């Protein structure tokens, strides 16, 4: 007779249906929903979904919610070239550009991709 495969141990539950899921997973195979890999919040269409792209991070490649990806508004300085172009063309000073970045809660890196 063949050996029996060891059944996987499930320590986490789906936030929607309560069925057992693998702790490293972010999708329930029973009810087909996605949830945050960090806090377990149910992710619906239109919710912000983010994925850390830092290989050393415990959440690398896993989907996290907007609460677990910390938003940062980064203001980029205006370059001398922009000052020159605005002075010649627009005849007014340029305004600094604000870029929205997200920081991973797991590793603290800012290499987070918005899905």
How does pLDDT run across 71-93, given as a tens digit for each residue?
777 777 777 787 777 777 877 77
pLDDT in tens, 40-57: 788 887 777 788 888 888
Provide φ and ψ at 109, rounded to 5°.
-80, 160
Residue 1 has pLDDT above 70, yes or no: no
Report angle CA 71, 72, 75 to the nearest 5 degrees.
150
Structure tokens, 45: 């269409």
Report angle CA 43, 48, 50 to the nearest 5 degrees.
95
Q: Where are the domains of the chain?
A: 12-114
Beta bridge partners of 3: none
Mean pLDDT in residue range 13-41: 82
Structure tokens, 94: 């340029």
Provide φ and ψ at 85, rounded to 5°.
-65, -45
């Amino acid at each position: 007779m063949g050996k029996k495969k060891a059944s996987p141990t499930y320590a986490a539950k789906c936030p929607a249906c309560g069925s057992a899921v693998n702790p490293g997973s972010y999708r329930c195979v029973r009810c087909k929903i996605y949830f945050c890999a960090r806090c377990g919040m149910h992710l619906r269409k239109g919710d912000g979904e983010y994925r850390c792209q830092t290989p050393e991070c415990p959440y690398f490649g896993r989907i996290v919610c907007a609460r677990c990806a910390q938003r940062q508004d980064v203001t980029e300085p205006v370059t001398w070239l922009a000052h020159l172009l605005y002075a010649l063309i627009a005849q007014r000073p340029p305004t600094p550009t604000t870029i929205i970045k997200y920081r991973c809660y797991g590793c603290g890196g800012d290499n987070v991709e918005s899905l």
